[in-house]
Amino acid sequence: MSSPSATPTKGKRTRGSNPPTPWSEDALTPPSRRRRTDDASTSDLQPMPTSPVTDMRSPAVQDTSLFSSPAQSRHSAPLNEIDMSSPLTYGTPSSRVEVRQRPDLGSVRKARQVDLHSDHANGPEAPASEHSVGQKLVIWGTDVNVGTCKEKFQRFLQRFIDPSSTDDENAGLDLNEPLYMQKLEEINVVGDPVLNVNCEHLQSFDADLYRQLIAYPQEVIPTFDMAVNELFFERFPDSVIEHQIQVRPYNALKTRNMRNLNPEDIDQLITISGMVIRTSQLIPEMQEAFFRCQVCAFSTRVEVDRGRIAEPAVCRNCNTTHSMALIHNRSIFSDKQMIKLQESPEDMPAGQTPHTTVVYAHNDLVDKVQPGDRVNITGIYRAVPIRLNPRQSNVKSVYKTHIDAIHFRKTHEKRLHGLDEEAEEKLFTEERVRTLRELAAKPDVYERLSSALAPSIYEHEDIKKGILLQLFGGTRKDFSQTGRGGFRAEINILLCGDPGTSKSQLLQYVYNLVPRGQYTSGKGSSAVGLTAYVMKDPETRQLVLQTGALVLSDNGICCIDEFDKMSDSTRSVLHEVMEQQTLSIAKAGIICQLNARTSVLAAANPVESQWNPKKTTIENIQLPHTLLSRFDLIFLMLDPQDEAYDRRLAHHLVSLYYQSEEQLEEEFLDMAMLKDYVAYARSYIEPRLSEEASQALIKAYVDMRKIGSGRGMVSAYPRQLESLIRLAEAHAKVRFSDKVETIDVEEAKRLHREALKQSATDPRTGFVDISILTTGMSATARKRKEELAQALKRLIQSKGKVPTMKYQQLFDDLRAQSDVAITKDMFEEALQALTDEDYLTVTGKTVRLL
Amino acid sequence: FTQLFKWVNNCKYLNCVNCSPDWETKVLEYFKEKLKDNEAASWVPSLNDVPVHYLKANSLVKFRCFIQDMFDPEFYMGVYETVDPSSKSKVLRSGKYKDVAECGHQVDLNTKNAVTLERQTFYCVPIPGESPWVKEISFSYSCSNPARVVPSTSYAPCRHKRSYEEDEDMETQPHKQKEQLAGPQGTTDIHGSGDPKRLETEAPSSLSNAASGCSSPLDLNFPLPGEKGPACLVKVYEEWELFKVNDILEVYGILSVDPVLSVISEDKDSSLVDPMDCTESVEEQRVHCPPASLVPRLHMLYAHRLQHNNPLLPPAASEGQSSSGFLNDVVSVRGELLGYLTHVLLGDALAAEYLILHLISTVYARRDVLPLGKFTLNLSGCPHNSTYTEQLYRVIQQLIPSSFRLGMSLHNMNNLRLVPRKDYTANRLLSGVLQLAPNTSLFLDETQLEQGQLDSTGVRNITALGNLISWQKVDYDFNYHQMEFPCNINVLIASEGKSLLPCDCHVRLQPQLAPPNLEQYISTIQVSLSPSLLNKFRIYLSLLRTLDYSISEEVTKAVEDDFVEMRKDDPQSISAEDLHRLLVVARLLSLSVGHTTLSRDRWMRAKHLETLRTNRTEQQKCVNGNEP
């Protein structure tokens, strides 16, 4: 019915190219958007209720004469006539339900005054016959015909079915029934008179209606409201709801980055994402002023029109002039709140500071969001000119912009149906998905990705592979019904090794790669900094929970450098996090359990500054084995010290220093690609174990246990099996596969074995012994300790009934008797063991038998 | 000559007469063309040198500045229509390059011809830590223009000439002040005598007077404490995506100091405009609309990013003809500089060598998180409790275009704001000491650190310094999240023992002589240096940073062999990290003599230097026994 080109939907910013739309005599073409904007904006601005004459709008007044006439007629006209003449009235079949104004849309009544060109001899437009065919009537300045629009929307509500819906808002609804009718039923039951409409649905159903909604939200949304209410009360005539149903569209396609907003978007429906940084106090905004005559106490109500109150000069009852006084507490106010929204950090180009936008929330949207929340806001973008001085007619040539919020959607809010971690769904373009899929289809994708990881760090292929799997993570499983609680899906990795083997660099890289990574150093962080602490807000005196690194990296990776330097108390908080993935806090009256589903990537240096190959991992890094066993993979980063390696390393480093940036880029996948790949896999791929894979896992586990059992050692615990499962799942994710297959298990086994070989090899025997990690001591070491104690006991017994012995003497005797070298430590250990048996006591230099 | 003035003043009228639709592009091109000419550029008065109140409103000025913050984009009336109340005639006007719509007429907001456009505002301050000599030289450049018969170094004559013009136009400038400075009115040529030193000191003081005259001093948000100079709101009309925070720019633009702009803030207090209109808090108002007399607006016509702010080099730093001439005597300059620094470092030639390497180092690339080319130097063994570090800093400051000395005293560490922080009430980025332009030298004086307690701010500050040194990045604090800004800052740490901060290279100072009066000793050395030589040093240090560098296949092979060989003998002797350092040293060493490729000799020399250095630290360890 109109030329769609008149309201161009511009994706790209075209500065200074807002071509003045030709003012068409044809009433059916939308007149200039610009003009309407200014109309609306100046009227909203009106700061001074008095002195309405001398302001810059005065030229506008000439052509606003058309505003005044319906304003008068409104008071006199009988009700039904209003309904007829104004398409946007809120009168509905059931007028007993309170009609609530929608300040978020600006003054709706105002629209009524302007909209029907047919009512008034309105400039050049040809007056159409008033109650003629609906097709002819459009709202002034738009191409919206109320009747058709209403019809179309009702049709949409009644018919729209989206069987493939994955939207969490629709969870629990029957997908094969008209979606929005179910929602209306829900409203009837719950009584919350808000209907959220996904614009995507609308677009797929009726693109033209969608276009109108985006272009003229101020007119179209009230029309939708009307349509919904008619429909609703038709179906549920007895329903009691607080006020009329309000339609809240959200997800206006092209969710915009704040940076992309440009003058083209003014007065259009937009959705932008960002982070709330500040909320103002509640601002009461007058909707209806109450006047009472001081002479005869006659009272009257005046609606606030575009921010202005038309004070009645004469009392209609007693005809006294200037006797009407405003009674504040009988006037009607609505709530309003100013919210500052800042661009989310991910959207920002590097090296620039974030932009902010002002958002106004009205009525029940007030206090819906808190500073720090990540939200998607759908609303109408507005621009108003700034006046330099309210009393002067000067205008600064700059507009103030804000958004009138219609719908908030918290992006990080915990949602009901377990989809929470995917709430931050990154939007991938189809093209991107295709490239990612192509990449995933390559047979060597695993190798490719792992080599793309921190290319500046040389070799350590297995470690990179381990970290790659950590980035992907396993599949989250929920066993809470059986009482076991959640199963950890995150993979924890510990890197230990000589200083200067670029462990920190690896950590830094990972921290930079993942969206929700945290980087802390064990030396500098306290338990508080890692977990959470309670703080009193200086302004509100409220207790506020400030979260630390572990909670902040929920669903991310927490990189902890200098893990060994961490104090014991700090380390102890990790126990819970690393297995249960939660964090319990009981402080200052706040008792809570926070989610901390974070993977831990830690780096530790050996105690003796250089790795001692003669000692076990535990002895080298002096970490409690309880903590160590919670790491799925423990890698040693050692200087391999062989010539070929050295040569390759040297070549790698030298090339780093002379190759140009571009040359290096070509060689590897770039970081952005890797990031997207990981993000995509994390949100869309959930591999499950296949039958063969589970068999393979079982076999692998049994094999692992068998290795040790021959020598009386245990070389695997159920925890290792869990690790294997996680690793296999992660590997399946790398392949974008929904099924964990045997190859995944094979790789998991290999990697796990590699890590074990490095970290759990008993230096004395050369065998892999998992108990080094689980109990802190290898089985052989334990056995030998036992033997020594027995030998000592025998030695003492052989000496006959001597009550006391010299310590040194005994030590020498034992050494003479034994065929292996016995250190003083070992001797003392043996003595200690016997003391524990209550066989003897050691006092100073003498050993006394009991 | 006169044409030039006309041209400068033209821009005032530009906005009124906009007949053809493409006038903007034409005008811009015209200006860009004109400004390409270096001479012409020197005609444009600079905000850096001339106090704001001497500059005519709506005239073309330039400003050498540093982007401290970026404000939100603003929509303005690109084209609007005014109605003359008497004649009812309508005129179309352009809002470009202006803050305030034309007064005196009614503005018709509802016209269909109006166009809304978007522009971006940058908050710019003078380059932080700019050395006095840079200011002096660029100042003298801007005033000595070739067309003049008497090569005057003072801006008084130029000023005077310009103010003459102003008088004809309108009386906007404070007369008295102008006369005070310009002296008795006369012909322009008399004033060749005005010495720049005097004016230099006077100009900022008059500015600070203006600031103190204001009822509430405004925090101009300079990154470094004690900085002076004008801050400026630069309005950018196109391609603002190309600019980044912490860039240094030379902006050519139209100065706007309309007093009406300042009225807003005052008015806010008196008449409380209804709260709905107040989308900004008072603090925000103050920051975003400061009085124009303090923070002038500059409507950018044209800007280019500076690679360095050394006025002795052409701004484009095209390593073309000009530099190649210089490269010929690079070796001799290097020799002189080495001698000079050796004297300054009390006869320690090795330390002087390393200092040169440090001064020409720059981050030339990044491999994922790893910055390449940084060379943080730790000079240990600086005498405690003496002014030596201060003297040393002075010497460096004289050589380097921008630098800052941070005394790492406990007090400073616990109280200074090193990392910039976003202030959400005022909606701006509160600057911190570490918000510095690329290639700024940061001199950390660790000798000032005593034993004591670091509080949480202190720990954070130390961590920030550590991050800066290791990764060449600063995590700006945005309260709800941190944002990483890569930087390129040369950090030099002067300490007694080995520094507590990580550093690439540690040199123990071994003074060969112990002059009884350090201060006197250094100042004698400084005085004995001829200005021309000093300038050569300055060019040398700035120029060598911009050179490209490569390693040939052959040398690569040799280096690899060498590394393998060294490891064979003793794996402990050289680690990957050592090789990293060795490569950087070799690179800087080659560059320092003007070679852009690595040769075997240089490689051996680099190894030799490193051996000397490590031996020295080893030695020190033996002497002290327990030096970490």
pLDDT digits (tens, 9 = 90+) for A375-396: 888 888 887 766 545 445 555 6
Secondary structure letter of residue A21 according to DSSP: P
Question: Contacts from A290-294 at CB under 8 Å and sequence distance 24+?
Answer: A290/A326, A290/A327, A290/A328, A290/A330, A290/A331, A290/A332, A291/A324, A291/A325, A291/A326, A291/A327, A292/A324, A292/A325, A292/A327, A292/A330, A293/A317, A293/A318, A293/A320, A293/A323, A293/A324, A293/A325, A294/A323, A294/A324, A294/A325
Retrieve residue B411's tokens: 């007090």
Range with lowest mean pLDDT among A123-132, A451-460, B602-611: A123-132
The amino acid present at B19, given as its one-letter code, is C
To test the contact with chain A by mutation, choose from B22, B75, B278, B460 the residue with the greatest count of A C-beta atoms within 10 A, namely B75
Shortest CA distance to A664 belongs to which of B370, B244, B580, B559? B370
**Mean pLDDT of the residues in chain B:** 72
**pLDDT given for residue B622 in this prediction:** 61
Q: Distance of alpha carbon A765 from its chain centroid, rounded?
A: 50
In the predicted model, is pLDDT for residue B396 greater than 80?
yes
- Dmax (CA) for chain B in angstroms is 97
In the predicted model, is pLDDT for residue B224 greater than 60?
yes
**pLDDT given for residue A139 in this prediction:** 66
Range with lowest mean pLDDT among B190-204, B235-249, B327-341: B190-204
Q: How many of the other CB atoms lie within 10 Å of CB of B100?
A: 17
Strands (E), A548-659: 557-561, 582-587, 590-595, 599-604, 633-637
CA atoms of B246 and B65, how far apart (whole Å): 10
**pLDDT given for residue B503 in this prediction:** 83
**pLDDT given for residue A397 in this prediction:** 66
Residues 6+ apart with CB under 8 A from B413: B449, B454, B457, B458, B461, B462
**pLDDT given for residue A98 in this prediction:** 55
Buried b (16+ CB within 10 A) or exposed e, B566-605: bbeeeeeebbbeebbbbbbbbbbbbbbebbeebbeebbeb
To test the contact with chain A by mutation, choose from B112, B287, B305, B568 the residue with the greatest count of A C-beta atoms within 10 A, namely B112
H-state helical runs in B289-421: 321-328, 330-344, 349-359, 388-399, 410-415
**pLDDT given for residue A535 in this prediction:** 63
Query: Directed axis angle between helix B321-328 and helix B330-344, to 10°?
Result: 60
Q: How many of the other CB atoms lie within 10 Å of CB of B149?
A: 8
- Dmax (CA) for chain A in angstroms is 128
Q: How confident is the model at residue B323 (pLDDT cuts 50, 70, 90)?
A: low
Cross-strand bridge partners of residue B83? B90, B106
Cross-strand bridge partners of residue A197? A249
In the predicted model, is pLDDT for residue B623 greater than 50?
yes
CA atoms of A521 and B466, how far apart (whole Å): 12
**pLDDT given for residue B3 in this prediction:** 46
Retrieve residue B208's tokens: 């600070």
Query: What residues of A are in contact with residue B75 (Cβ under 8 Å)?
Result: 263, 266, 383, 398-399, 401
Retrieve residue A555's tokens: 């669903």
Shortest CA distance to B446 belongs to which of B488, B509, B525? B509
Q: Does B333 touch chain A (CB under 8 A)?
A: no
**pLDDT given for residue A746 in this prediction:** 82
Cβ atoms of residues B57 and B172 within 8 Å: yes
Q: Which tens digit of pLDDT belongs to each residue from A240-281?
A: 777 778 888 887 766 667 777 777 788 888 888 888 877 877
Cross-strand bridge partners of residue A543? A536
Query: Directed axis angle between helix B175-182 and helix B196-213, to 10°?
Result: 160
In the predicted model, is pLDDT for residue A471 greater than 50?
yes
Q: Comparing A449 with A377, which gets the higher pLDDT? A: A377
Query: Directed axis angle between helix A718-734 and helix A742-759, to 10°?
Result: 130
| Beta carbons of A338 and B560 less than 8 Å apart | no
Q: What is the mean pLDDT of residues A725-750?
A: 82
Q: How confident is the model at residue A514 (pLDDT cuts 50, 70, 90)?
A: confident
Q: Does A262 touch chain B (CB under 8 A)?
A: yes
Q: What is the mean pLDDT of residues A396-419?
A: 64
| Beta carbons of A389 and B115 less than 8 Å apart | no
In the predicted model, is pLDDT for residue A743 greater than 70?
yes
CA atoms of A417 and B294, how far apart (whole Å): 56
**pLDDT given for residue A381 in this prediction:** 86
Q: How confident is the model at residue A506 (pLDDT cuts 50, 70, 90)?
A: confident
Q: What is the mean pLDDT of residues A401-429?
A: 57
CA atoms of A729 and A693, how far apart (whole Å): 10
Q: Does B288 touch chain A (CB under 8 A)?
A: no
Residue of A nearest to B462 (CA): A524
Q: What is the mean pLDDT of residues B575-602?
A: 83
Q: How confident is the model at residue A215 (pLDDT cuts 50, 70, 90)?
A: confident
Q: What is the mean pLDDT of residues B471-481?
A: 81
Q: Which tens digit of pLDDT belongs to each residue from A178-205?
A: 778 888 888 888 777 788 888 878 888 8
| Beta carbons of B559 and A654 less than 8 Å apart | yes
Secondary structure letter of residue B550 according to DSSP: B
Q: Which tens digit of pLDDT belongs to each residue from B96-146?
A: 777 666 555 566 655 666 777 888 888 888 888 888 888 888 777 665 544
Shortest CA distance to B444 belongs to which of B533, B377, B519? B377
| Beta carbons of A48 and B486 less than 8 Å apart | no
Cβ atoms of residues A32 and A267 within 8 Å: no
Shortest CA distance to B555 belongs to which of B615, B599, B586? B599
**pLDDT given for residue B217 in this prediction:** 55
Q: Which tens digit of pLDDT belongs to each residue from A689-713?
A: 888 888 888 888 887 777 655 555 5
Cβ atoms of residues B253 and B234 within 8 Å: yes
CA atoms of A29 and A6, how far apart (whole Å): 8
**pLDDT given for residue B601 in this prediction:** 85
SS3 A157: helix
| Beta carbons of B369 and A512 less than 8 Å apart | yes
Q: What is the mean pLDDT of residues B330-349?
A: 86
Retrieve residue A365's tokens: 């949207």
Contacting A residues, span 355-374, partner chain B, CB-CB under 8 Å: 355-358, 371-372
CA distance A839 to chain B (A): 45
**pLDDT given for residue B167 in this prediction:** 37
CB-nearest partner of A671 from B368, B459, B584: B368
Secondary structure letter of residue A331 according to DSSP: S
In the predicted model, is pLDDT for residue B14 greater than 70?
no
In the predicted model, is pLDDT for residue A754 greater than 60?
yes
Q: Does B273 touch chain A (CB under 8 A)?
A: yes
Cβ-in-10-Å burial (0-12, 13-18, 19+) of A252 comes to buried
Q: Which tens digit of pLDDT belongs to each residue from A522-556?
A: 666 665 566 666 666 655 566 666 666 776 667 77
Q: Is 0.90 exceeded by the ipTM? A: no
Retrieve residue A31's tokens: 């007149």
List, as one string, the DSSP characters of B255-305: EE--THHHHHHHHHHHS---TTT--S-HHHHHHHS--TTTS-EEEEEEEEE
Task: Count CA atoms closer than 13 A to A84's CA, side-chain side.
Answer: 10
Q: How confident is the model at residue A491 (pLDDT cuts 50, 70, 90)?
A: confident
Helix or strand (DSSP H, E) at B423: strand B421-423
Please provide the size of chain B in residues: 628
Whether the pTM exceeds 0.80: the reply is no
Shortest CA distance to A725 belongs to which of A689, A685, A761, A672? A689
Residue of B nearest to A646 (CA): B564
Cβ atoms of residues A245 and A229 within 8 Å: yes
| Beta carbons of B78 and A16 less than 8 Å apart | yes
Q: Which tens digit of pLDDT belongs to each residue from A301-351?
A: 887 766 667 777 788 778 777 788 888 888 888 888 888 888 877 677 777
**Mean pLDDT of the residues in chain A:** 68
Q: How confident is the model at residue A684 (pLDDT cuts 50, 70, 90)?
A: confident
**pLDDT given for residue A94 in this prediction:** 42
To test the contact with chain A by mutation, choose from B66, B116, B460 the residue with the greatest count of A C-beta atoms within 10 A, namely B116
Tokens 């080094």 appear where? A772
Q: Are strands B403-407 and B440-445 parallel, antiparallel or unpaired?
A: parallel
* Cβ-based contacts under 8 A for chains A and B: 235
CA distance B167 to chain A (A): 26
H-state helical runs in A199-304: 199-205, 207-215, 217-235
What does the H/E/C string look like for B4-41?
HHHHHHHHHHHCCCCCCCCHHHHHHHHHHHHHHCHHHH
Q: Which tens digit of pLDDT belongs to each residue from A575-624?
A: 777 777 777 766 666 677 767 777 888 888 777 767 776 666 667 777 77
CA atoms of A605 and A70, how far apart (whole Å): 81
Query: What residues of A are in contact with residue B80 (Cβ under 8 Å)?
Result: 397
**pLDDT given for residue A174 in this prediction:** 65
